Amino acid sequence: MKKHEYEKIKAQALELFEKAHIILTDKEKSSLEVADFGLNKVEDTGLQLITYVNTELVCAKELALLPYQTCPEHKHPKRDFDEGKEETFRCRYGTVYLYVEGEETKNRAMNPPQGDDEYYTVFHEIILKPGEQYTIYPNTLHWFKAGSEGTIVSEFSTKSTDEGDIFTDPRIQRVPEIE
Those residues whose C-beta lies under 8 Å from the C-beta of residue 47, and which sit 6 or more positions away, are: 35, 37, 63, 64, 65, 69, 71
pTM, rounded to two decimals = 0.95
How many C-beta atoms surround the C-beta of residue 57 within 10 A? Answer: 9
Residue 130 to residue 151: CA distance in whole angstroms? 9
State the Cα–Cα distance between residues 20 and 167, nearest whole angstrom: 29
Q: How far is CA 48 from the centre of its chain?
A: 7
Residue 176 inside a domain? The answer is: no
Asked if residues 33 and 54 have their Cβ atoms less than 8 Å apart, the reply is no
**Is 169 a domain residue?**
no
**pLDDT, position 139:** 97
Look at residue 170 and tell me if it is in a domain.
no
Distance CA 7, CA 38 (A): 16
Q: Give a yes or no: residue 53 inside a domain.
A: yes
Q: What is the pLDDT of residue 176?
A: 67
For residue 179, what pLDDT is reported?
74
What's the total number of domains in the chain? 1
For residue 132, tell me if it sits in a domain.
yes
Given a cut of 70, the residues of the chain with pLDDT beneath it are 175-176, 178
Domain of 27 in residue numbering reads as: 3-162
Residue 155 lies in a domain: yes
Give a yes or no: residue 129 inside a domain.
yes
Measured distance CA(116)–CA(120) in Å, rounded: 7
Domain CATH for 144: 2.60.120.10
**C-alpha distances in Å from residue 67, one per residue of 1, 165, 169:** 19, 24, 22
Q: Where are the alpha helices (DSSP H) in 20-71?
A: 26-30
